[in-house]
Structure 1
Amino acid sequence: MVFWEGYVSDEFMGTFAPIIIYWLYAGLYQLLPRLDEYRLHTRKEEEQKNLVALPTVVKGVLLQQLVQAAIAQVLFLVTSEASTLGDPVQPSIPVQMFQIFVAMLIMDAWQYFVHRYMHQNKFLYRHIHSQHHRLVVPYAIGALYNHPLEGLLLDTLGGAISFLVSGMTPRTSVFFFSFATIKTIDDHCGLWLPGNIFHIFFQNNTAYHDIHHQLQGSKYNYSQPFFSIWDKMLGTYMPYNLVPRPGGGLEARPLRD
């Protein structure tokens, strides 16, 4: 039993919980004190290097989430109508954990190859993926700032495939997509906070993705949002060092093998 049972459907929560969590978690980062000693880039760099204003970023994210919600509703409707057994039986916790792990692997594979191709194809990069890289210095609210077509192909379609292949129920998907949302925000937050659980358990983390947003790392570290498997297997992995920055703070400095 979950806290929303009897109030709203699992399909409703699967659609809207990740969106609500996005704004709550990203907003929390936005409201934090300056924390300059933990920033991977200075605030001056953020102001000078980023090529898009915050209001435009917010509008872009809201547009992507609108499309995402519409497609999620259609997906849940189609899969529920295809079932002849009525409401799906919720599997055991171990089975759900396995399904979530499978979904993580599927999403990582999908996003790696689509993301990498958008960098390699000059037309797609210039007209679509470059919009995300207008945030040279990433921050939490901009985690899902993409061209609408990229948001559809990379995130929404990737999520749908992960849901279908893993065989998870709408209820399980609430936890999976909420976790994926939190992880994606954390990867773009631009802060290396002590004790951050994502930095402890995932090599693909804030600094890892920050390298990708740097000029010398733009052809590396395509993997997102969970593991670094594909980068290491296919030669696009770039390690880094975290070094103190003069005047305070940290810097993720790329290293070549």
Structure 2
Amino acid sequence: MPRWYMLLARCFGCAVIEDTWHYFLHRLLHHKRIYKYIHKVHHEFQAPFGMEAEYAHSLETLILGTGFFIGIMLLCDDVILLYTWVAIRLIETIDVHSGYDIPLNPLNLILFCAGSRHHDSHHMNFIGNYASTFTW
């Protein structure tokens, strides 16, 4: 069993790796030459909801989903970290697509965590806020 602080540090490392990957490739998916073929499927909903988070073109799932596994490949050495990272990532993904900015949300305790307001702005304007987790 890993120590709790190592578990949190590695989950944070996975989040930074995934967020960096997601930002640059998500921004690329908004390029005018490819947007209508791949990423437009995900943007069919201007008011996102939890299950819509996973509604995407299969190529988008493959492209953006790769970032999730990079952190695991680099930082994961036990199944507890794997399960923790999967749980955190799924909760965060559904939260930002929920359409609700819950004031007492524990995810708001994470410094620079974007939240649903940040992501809703992306779905309404189709530009900016390309990162999956952080605002930096």
TM-score by length of 1: 0.49
Q: Which amino acid is 1:117 matched to?
A: L
Q: Secondary structure at the match of 1:164?
A: helix
- Residue 159 of structure 1 corresponds to 68
Matched residue, 1:143: 53
In the alignment, is the contact (CA less than 8 A) between 2:97 and 2:116 conserved in 1?
A: yes
How large is the RMSD of aligned CA atoms in angstroms? Answer: 1.6
Equivalent of 2:105, from 170, 193, 196? 196
Aligned counterpart for 1:109 among listed residues 7, 17, 20: 20
Q: Is the 8 A contact 1:99 1:168 kept in 2?
A: no
**How much has 1:200 moved relative to structure 2?**
4.7
Moved more, 96-105 or 109-118: 96-105
Among 88, 99, 106, which residue is 2:10 paired with? 99
Contact 1:143 1:185 in 2 (8 A): yes
2:128 and 2:58 map into 1 onto residues whose CA distance is 23
**Matches of 1:136 and 1:176 in 2, distance apart?**
28
Unaligned residue ranges in structure 2 (runs of 5+)? none
Question: How far 1:128 moved relative to its partner?
Answer: 0.4
Offset of residue 162 of structure 1: 1.2
1:181 paired to 2:93 = no
Cα–Cα, structure 1 residues 189 and 219, in superposed 2: closer, same or farther, change >3 Å?
A: same
Matches of 1:213 and 1:199 in 2, distance apart? 20
Question: What is the one-letter code of the residue matched to 2:74?
Answer: V
| Offset at residue 179 of structure 1 (A) | 0.8
Larger Rg: 1
TM-superposition CA deviations, 1:60-94 (whole Å, max 9, x none): xxxxxxxxxxxxxxxxxxxxxxxxxxxxxx43322
Distance 1:112 1:221 in 2: 8
Q: Does the C-alpha gap of structure 1 residues 167 and 147 become closer, same or farther in structure 2, counting only changes over 3 Å? A: same
* Equivalences, count: 135
- Would you identify which runs of 4 or more consecutive aligned residues in structure 1 move more than 3 Å? 199-203
Corresponding residue of 2:134: 227
Q: Residue 39 of structure 2 is aligned with which of 124, 129, 136?
A: 129
Q: TM-score, normalised by structure 2?
A: 0.90
Tell me: CA distance 1:111–1:153, structure 2 relative to 1, closer, same or farther (3 Å): same
- Structure 1: gaps spanning 5 or more residues: 1-89, 230-257
| Secondary structure of the structure 2 residue equivalent to 1:219 | coil
Partner of 1:214: 124
Which structure is richer in relative contact order (CA contacts within 8 A, separation 6 or more)? 2
User: 1:17-57 deviations in whole A, cap 9, x for unaligned?
Assistant: xxxxxxxxxxxxxxxxxxxxxxxxxxxxxxxxxxxxxxxxx
